[in-house]
Structure 1
């Protein structure tokens, strides 16, 4: 029983740290600042649902898929870094602050940002994916597998609640506050992007030079 508690605690704490929903919240606030509360709630819900199923899918078949397609986690970091950088550049120039589109286009926008960049790679990033694969490989028996899936569900639910609650903060800041926050977060996101990119690129270059 102690083994199960230890494994569950490890899974919950590691996923919470790697997903970092509190860190995702400011970015979520900026890219959904002009959406209605209901649309923002829908975006958060879809992003966390996509993240949950993606993490579970990779946990059960990630290593097999990576080997089959010849994909490495380092490659995922490089791609994630590029996506982060482009997003951070847009945020820095406040390009995401106004969305003057029709209702149908807003729905398309919600669908787009809920999957990329919110679900992948913001919530379900290389670290969380790798963590799921590693923990699944170390899970001994069906009980630990259930605990792992339950841990992912708990963290995704917590992430949804945190993102949902960010609506009040967005309304409190107002238009000017959101623009300031967007530019500040743009800088931070671009720094994160550089770290992501080079942390994935270094091992790739090292492997190339070793050949």
Structure 2
């Protein structure tokens, strides 16, 4: 029983630190600033559900999929960096998340569906770090109870992420239109910096591997 508690604590600390719900919150606020409270909640729900199933899927089959397709985690980081950079550039121009209010529910739902999967769920919430962590911890899990514990912990962390994102709606409403645009530009710079770190942290090992061969 002690081993399960220790494993659960390790998994929770690792996932909470890597996913970083509080770090995701400002970006979520910027991207959904022009949506209604209901649609922001819907976006947060879809993003966390997609992230949960993606992390769990990679936890069970990550190594097999990576080997089958010849994909490395470093390649995933490079692609994630490129996606982040484009997202940060749009935020810097105050274009990301801009959506004119309309009665056309189909257009709003399409926008929510679009941003909830990419870039919010992947790679914002479920990024290379979370995927790698899930694969490693699943391999470290000695028996079925520990594997079940890992899945529960992933669910708990993503539930906390959902609650944090939903709570961000109140902050968005208080900031107003001007405040949200200023925050979007500031977060755009930060996201672009994160993108550069992601890109080169993945590119460096790839180049080193090529030089060694």
Please give the root-mean-square deviation of Cα atoms over the aligned residues, in Å: 0.8
Compute the TM-score of the two structures, normalised by the length of structure 2. Answer: 0.98
Cα distance in 1, alignment partners of residues 21 and 138 from structure 2: 22
Q: Quote the residue 2:148 is aligned against.
A: 146
2:151 counterpart of 1:127:
no
SS at match of 1:46: helix
Contact 1:77/1:197 (CA < 8 Å) preserved in 2? Answer: yes
Match of residue 201, structure 2, among 177, 189, 199: 199
Compute the TM-score of the two structures, normalised by the length of structure 1. Answer: 0.99
Q: Quote the residue 1:81 is aligned against.
A: 81
Cα distance in 2, alignment partners of residues 201 and 98 from structure 1: 32
Cα distance in 2, alignment partners of residues 98 and 41 from structure 1: 17
**1:160 to partner: Cα distance:** 0.2
User: What is the correspondence of 1:48-127 to structure 2 with a 5 Å cutoff?
Assistant: 48-96=48-96, 98-100=98-100, 102-127=104-129
SS at match of 1:16: helix
**1:105 to partner: Cα distance:** 1.3
Cα distance in 1, alignment partners of residues 11 and 188 from structure 2: 30
Contact 2:91/2:185 (CA < 8 Å) preserved in 1? Answer: yes
Q: Quote the residue 2:172 is aligned against.
A: 170
Cα distance in 2, alignment partners of residues 83 and 136 from structure 1: 27
**1:97 to partner: Cα distance:** 5.1
2:169 counterpart of 1:185:
no
Cα distance in 1, alignment partners of residues 124 and 23 from structure 2: 9
Q: Quote the residue 1:33 is aligned against.
A: 33
Structure 1: stretches of 5+ with no match in the other structure: none
1:47-101 per-position Cα deviation (integer Å, ceiling 9, x unaligned): 0000000000000000010011000000000000000000000000101253126
Contact 2:76/2:128 (CA < 8 Å) preserved in 1? Answer: yes
Cα distance in 2, alignment partners of residues 55 and 12 from structure 1: 14
User: What is the correspondence of 1:17-28 to structure 2 with a 5 Å cutoff?
Assistant: 17-28=17-28
Q: Quote the residue 2:15 is aligned against.
A: 15
Cα distance in 2, alignment partners of residues 207 and 44 from structure 1: 39
Cα distance in 2, alignment partners of residues 106 and 31 from structure 1: 13
**1:106 to partner: Cα distance:** 1.3
1:164-207 per-position Cα deviation (integer Å, ceiling 9, x unaligned): 00000000100010000000000000000000000000000011
